[in-house]
A and B are shown apart, each in its own frame.
Chain A
Amino acid sequence: MVCMERAGTSEKIVTAREMGVVACTRCSRAWPLGRTVCGRCGNTLVSRDTDSLQRVWAYWLMGVICYVPANAYPMLRTQTLFVKEESTIIGGAVELAEYGSWGIAFIILFASVVIPLAKFWAIAFLAISVKTRTAASSHSRQLMYEIVEYIGRWSMIDIFVVAILSSLVQLRTLASITPGTASFFFALSVIFTMLSAQAFDSRMIWDVRTRDEDAKKDE
């Protein structure tokens, strides 16, 4: 592992913004401040994305709104010889637990209830934290952001399980599974949450710290 040499003359880490340059977030090339398009990869250049938080909150709200019907409507419709059953996400997990499959029930509850709720909380926390002072350090918030970005995609697993089950279990009269309305809303909720996390400009996490350090120096 090699550490990069600091660009400034001092021992302190200097940001591109402090140097009066703007960096491309896609290919990490530096350009003079005021340039709007990266000459290397064509990405739009902004020193700090000031509209970022608005987009984060807009997508976040859509994600939360879609998450409600995703839990209220049935995810799966199961039809066996005589019984027709509809189960919601939580209902399905509870049913599995009753049959004794604790492990699977736990995975489903974790992937489709705990993780989405934790993601909503984490994104809201991060978006609020760049506007106000928080006890959490920039490092832990950066880690949190990376986890949210990484885990976000994995929530789609529920949708894929429904897709596999409902295409595979088509045994005419014996048993058939069809997807319910909730699958649509759940997928939307996951997609909006991913967009919300992507819209967040993580450079803002570190700006607050720089501002705090400056404030400390002035005292």
Chain B
Amino acid sequence: MTAPAAPDTDVPLPELIVCPQCDAAYRLKKPQHGERAVCQRCHTVLISPRRNAGLRIIAIALSVLILILGAAYFPFLEIDAAGNRNAVSIMDAALAFGGGPLIVLSLATAALIIFVPLARVLLTLYVLVPLVFDRPPAPHAMAAFRLSEAMRPWSMAEIFALGCAVALVKIADLANVAFGPAFWMFGALVVLLVAQDSFLCRWSVWNALEHPKRS
């Protein structure tokens, strides 16, 4: 058997799917709902459609949106030691690096834990709402989804949540710490963000954007 070196023209290009991790090419075969199509060589998940994934993601995204705004605004943690009290919101924590050269770090932290997740939720809603309700995609929907995908590694809410746990242990014997409403909101937020990411099948979104339904 010889591997084809020249362009293999017997498969039309739109019917090919190529693993982004290892470049293995496959004939497109859309799996059933709940099944996953996996690269045979490096086991990267290529397609993972789920029933009603779009609606579920929109529902999750809406609750995430409300929780982010709430979690950023309400007090997050409260500390009490010998009569001295101090309550902080997540924005206070993000901006802790304060003035001077560390202001850059403040802005970066605020972006990583609030603004990037917020932007991703808004972009996801913008892209998915027309698709799920069988309407033509919103203008620049592809650019929006691309931006949202590019921001994915920089959305660090779940890491911030674990950071809270470590910080709490560190100051537990120094002072009494009380949880504000934002703490619980943020906890729910992290769970929802992870769920949202696992429901989203990227290939299906690209495919739907490429072949919009006529309404």
Judge: A and B partners, yes or no: yes
Where the two chains meet, the residues of A that have a C-beta atom closer than 8 Å to any C-beta of B are 1-21, 23-33, 40-43, 96, 101, 104, 107-108, 138-139, 142, 149, 152-154, 156-172, 174-175, 178-179, 183-184, 187, 191, 194, 198, 202-203, 205-207
Q: Determine the residue in chain A with the shortest Cβ distance to B167.
A: A164
Which of A13, A191, A205 contacts B40, CB < 8 Å?
A: A13
Chain B residue numbers with a CB within 8 Å of A104 are 166, 169-170
Pairwise interchain contact A4-B166, C-beta atoms closer than 8 A: no
Q: Which of B10-18, B64-72, B189-197 contacts A (4 or more CB under 8 A)?
A: B10-18
Give the CA-CA distance A28 to B20 in the complex, in Å.
6
Given contacts A29-B206, A179-B97, 18 further A-B contacts (CB under 8 A): A1-B35, A11-B1, A15-B25, A21-B7, A23-B19, A26-B146, A41-B145, A108-B166, A138-B42, A154-B162, A158-B163, A160-B93, A160-B160, A168-B177, A169-B175, A171-B86, A175-B175, A184-B102
Pairwise interchain contact A161-B166, C-beta atoms closer than 8 A: yes
Is B22 interfacial (CB-CB < 8 Å)? yes
Pairwise interchain contact A2-B35, C-beta atoms closer than 8 A: yes
Pairwise interchain contact A43-B38, C-beta atoms closer than 8 A: no
Chain B residue numbers with a CB within 8 Å of A28 are 17-20, 46, 203, 206
Q: Determine the residue in chain A with the shortest Cβ distance to B206.
A: A27
Chain A residue numbers with a CB within 8 Å of B58 are none
Interface flags, B3-34, vs A, CB<8A=1, else 0: 11111101101101111111111111101100
Q: List 30 A-B contacts (CB under 8 A).
A: A2-B37, A4-B26, A6-B40, A7-B25, A12-B1, A13-B41, A15-B25, A16-B16, A16-B23, A17-B23, A19-B7, A30-B16, A30-B17, A42-B142, A96-B170, A153-B153, A154-B159, A157-B162, A159-B163, A160-B163, A161-B163, A163-B93, A163-B94, A163-B96, A164-B93, A165-B171, A167-B88, A168-B177, A202-B21, A206-B22
In the complex, the 10 A-B pairs of residues with the closest C-beta atoms, listed nearest first: A160-B163, A23-B18, A20-B7, A4-B26, A167-B96, A171-B84, A27-B206, A7-B25, A30-B16, A10-B1
Pairwise interchain contact B26-A179, C-beta atoms closer than 8 A: no
Where the two chains meet, the residues of B that have a C-beta atom closer than 8 Å to any C-beta of A are 1-8, 10-11, 13-14, 16-29, 31-32, 35-42, 46, 77, 79, 81-82, 84, 86, 88, 92-98, 101-102, 104-105, 108-109, 112-113, 142-143, 145-146, 149, 153-154, 156, 159-160, 162-164, 166-167, 169-171, 174-175, 177, 202-203, 206, 209-210
Pairwise interchain contact A202-B22, C-beta atoms closer than 8 A: yes
Pairwise interchain contact B8-A20, C-beta atoms closer than 8 A: yes
Give the CA-CA distance A159 to B105 in the complex, in Å.
9
Pairwise interchain contact B166-A107, C-beta atoms closer than 8 A: yes
User: Nearest-CB distance from B105 to chain A (Å)?
Assistant: 5
Pairwise interchain contact B145-A23, C-beta atoms closer than 8 A: no
User: Nearest-CB distance from A83 to chain B (Å)?
Assistant: 13
Chain B residue numbers with a CB within 8 Å of A16 are 16, 18, 23-25
- Contact residues of B: prevailing secondary structure: mixed
Q: Which of A19, A28, A32 has the most CB of B within 10 A?
A: A28
Which of B10, B22, B82 contacts A142, CB < 8 Å?
A: B22
Which of A24, A157, A187, A206 contacts B105, CB < 8 Å?
A: A187
Chain B residue numbers with a CB within 8 Å of A107 are 166
Which of B38, B153, B202 contacts A27, CB < 8 Å?
A: B202
Pairwise interchain contact B163-A6, C-beta atoms closer than 8 A: no
User: Nearest-CB distance from B176 to chain A (Å)?
Assistant: 11
Pairwise interchain contact B7-A14, C-beta atoms closer than 8 A: no
Chain A residue numbers with a CB within 8 Å of B13 are 21, 29-32
Chain B residue numbers with a CB within 8 Å of A43 are 146
Pairwise interchain contact B36-A2, C-beta atoms closer than 8 A: yes
Give the CA-CA distance A139 to B19 in the complex, in Å.
14
Known: A10-B1, A21-B16, A104-B169. A169 touches B79 (CB 8 A): yes
Pairwise interchain contact B82-A174, C-beta atoms closer than 8 A: yes
Which of B10, B22, B175 contacts A205, CB < 8 Å?
A: B22
